[in-house]
Amino acid sequence: MVLMSESASKPTTAQPVLVDTPQALTAMAAHLSKQRAFALDTESNSFYVYYPKVCLIQITTFADAHNPTTDKVIDYLVDPLTLTNLDELGALAARGDIQVVMHAAENDILQLQRDFGFRFPNVFDTQLAARILGMERVGLGSMLEERFGVVSDKRMQRTDWAVRPLTDEQIVYAQMDTHYLLAMRDQLLEALAAAGRLEECEDALEQLEHFDTIERSPNERTFWQMKLTRTVDLKDTGVLEVLWNWREGEAQRTNRPPFKIMGDESLIDLAVTRPTSVDDLQRIARLSRQQANRYGNTVIRLIKEGAQRPLPPLPRPTVRPELLLSQEDQGRFEKLRRWRTETARARGVTPEIVFNNETLLEIVQKRPANEEQLLAISGMGRWKAGAYGQAIFALLNGTNID
C-alpha cells in the first residue's frame, strides 16, 4: 500500500466535469490512469426507494498528473444512471498502484461492490485516519468545516439523487464531498507521521482490502424490529405482524421505502384500535385521505385476518456472543475488554480502534499461542500483532501484563 503525501495546499474550486457519456468516461479514465491517487464518494437514493442504488459518483484528482499538488485539482461527477458500463472506472479502482481516497470508506465500498462489482485494493480512509489520531469530530461535514471552512448544506442529505437534471445545490454539495479529500489526506498523513501512528494507519487501511459485501448477509427484517412494537400488548401482535408484512410487501413491489407506504405509528394505531370501516381509518389511525382511499379496504381485511390468526411466536432473545462461551472463556473475554478500554484511554482513541468485540471474541475462541496464529485473527494485522501481541498472550495465559 502506497501512502505518499503530496503538498498539502488548499485546492481552488472550479466547475466540475459532468461524465454522462461513454466518451466523457473514457476521457476521465485516461486522465485518472496517469494519477497516483484520486478521491471518490457516492450518493444514493436510499431515502426514496426500497432497493437503493448508486446515483452519482464523485471523483477528484490532480489537474496535472506530472506535478500533483492539492491546490490544483479537477472534479468529476459520474452519472451511473446514464452510463450503462463503468468497467473503465472499476478497472482503475482495482489497479492497486492508484490510491482511492474516501471518507468512511466501508459504505461506499459496499455500494460500489453491490452495484458494479468494484474492488479496492488500495484505499485511504480519511475518517479512519482521524480516528487513529484520536480526533472526536470525524464526520465529513465537521472535518471540512474545521479544516477548510466549508459548510455543507445538510438539506442535500435528504435529496433524491435519482432525479435528473441535478440542481445547482446538489452539484455544489456533491463536488465538495471529494474536492478537499486529497488535501485532507495529506494533512492527516503529516499528523500521523508526527504522532508516530503512520504504520498503524497503514496496517488498518490494509484491512479494508478484505472488506467484502459477499460476506455480509443482510439480517432478516421482521415486525419485532420496530421500536414501537415493544409498546404493543401481546394480544395485538398478530394484527401488527399481518399489517407489517403487507407494508413490507407493498414497499418491495412498488420500490418505495416502507415509511412512505405507511408510518410505524399508523401501523400501531391500526393494530391496537382495529377500525372496522374505511371511514374510521383517518380518524383513528392518522392516515391521510390518499392512504385511506388507496389502502383502506385492504387494511380492514388484514385487520380481520390478523385478529383470527394465532399470535406470532416471540422473538428469540438476542444473546451477546460472549455469553455463549464457557465460564472460563467469558473471564478471558472480560479481561481482554478491560485491557482494551484501558489501552484505548491511554492512547486517546475509542476502544474500537484497538479491537472490536468480534476480534476479541475470535481471540478467545482460537487462543492464539504465537504470532502466526495471532495474524490469522480477522482484524489483527501486523502492527496490532506487534504492538498488542504480548499483552494478549499474557491475558490468555492468565499472567500479569508488564
Of 49-63, 209-223, 310-324, where does mean pLDDT reach its minimum? Answer: 209-223
Provide, rounded to the nearest whole percent, the portion of the chain with pLDDT above 90.
83
pLDDT at 7: 40
pLDDT at 402: 55
211 assigned to some structural domain: yes
Give me 309's grid cell.
Answer: 390468526
Q: 378: domain range?
A: 321-397
Q: Cβ neighbours of residue 22 under 8 Å, at least 6 residues apart?
A: 83, 85
Interval 55-67 mean pLDDT:
97
Residues 251 and 328 in one domain: no
- pTM for this predicted structure: 0.89
268 assigned to some structural domain: yes
End-of-domain residue from the set 193, 215, 237: 215
Residues 98 and 25 in one domain: yes
Q: For 237-269, what is each residue's pLDDT tens digit?
A: 999 999 999 999 999 999 999 999 999 999 999
pLDDT at 319: 62
Number of independent structural domains in the chain: 3
Strands 54-62 and 37-44: antiparallel
Residues 165 and 39 in one domain: yes
| pLDDT > 80? residue 3 | no
Residues 30 and 178 in one domain: yes
Tell me how crowded residue 208 is: count the other CB atoms within 10 A of its CB: 20
Q: For 185-241, what is each residue's pLDDT tens digit?
A: 999 999 999 999 999 999 999 988 877 655 555 668 899 999 999 899 999 999 999
Residues 297 and 328 in one domain: no
290 assigned to some structural domain: yes
156 assigned to some structural domain: yes
pLDDT at 283: 81
Strands 37-44 and 99-102: parallel
| pLDDT > 70? residue 89 | yes
Residues 303 and 354 in one domain: no
Q: For 124-152, what is each residue's pLDDT tens digit?
A: 999 999 999 999 999 999 999 999 999 98
Residues 295 and 378 in one domain: no
Q: For 362-376, what is each residue's pLDDT tens digit?
A: 999 999 999 999 999
| pLDDT > 60? residue 2 | no
Residues 76 and 148 in one domain: yes
pLDDT at 139: 96
Looking at residue 346, which CATH number applies to its domain? Answer: 1.10.150.80
* Cβ atoms 317, 243 nearer than 8 A: no
| pLDDT > 50? residue 1 | no
Residues 78 and 191 in one domain: yes
Q: Kindly report the backbone phi and psi dihedral angles of residue 290, in degrees, each rounded to the nearest multiple of 5, phi listed first.
A: -65, -45
210 assigned to some structural domain: yes
Q: What is the mean pLDDT of the chain?
A: 92
Interval 49-56 mean pLDDT:
97
Looking at residue 123, which CATH number applies to its domain? Answer: 3.30.420.10
How sure is the predictor about 10, in pLDDT bands with cuts at 50, 70 and 90? low
List, as one string, the DSSP characters of 275-315.
--SHHHHHHHH---HHHHHHHHHHHHHHHHHHHHSPPPPPP
pLDDT at 373: 97
pLDDT at 5: 40
Highest mean pLDDT among 151-155, 331-335, 395-399: 331-335
pLDDT at 116: 97
| pLDDT > 70? residue 282 | yes
End-of-domain residue from the set 273, 308, 343: 308
End-of-domain residue from the set 169, 185, 215: 215
Query: How far is it, in rounded angstroms, from Cα 371 to Cα 256?
Result: 50
How sure is the predictor about 11, in pLDDT bands with cuts at 50, 70 and 90? low
236 assigned to some structural domain: yes
Residues 188 and 162 in one domain: yes
| pLDDT > 60? residue 280 | yes
Residues 59 and 207 in one domain: yes
Q: For 163-175, what is each residue's pLDDT tens digit?
A: 999 999 999 999 9
402 assigned to some structural domain: no
List, as one string, the DSSP characters of 157-219.
GGS-TTSSSPPHHHHHHHHHHHHTHHHHHHHHHHHHHHHT-HHHHHHHHHHHTT--GGG-PPP
Residues 192 and 286 in one domain: no
Provide, rounded to the nearest whole percent, the portion of the chain with pLDDT above 70.
93
348 assigned to some structural domain: yes
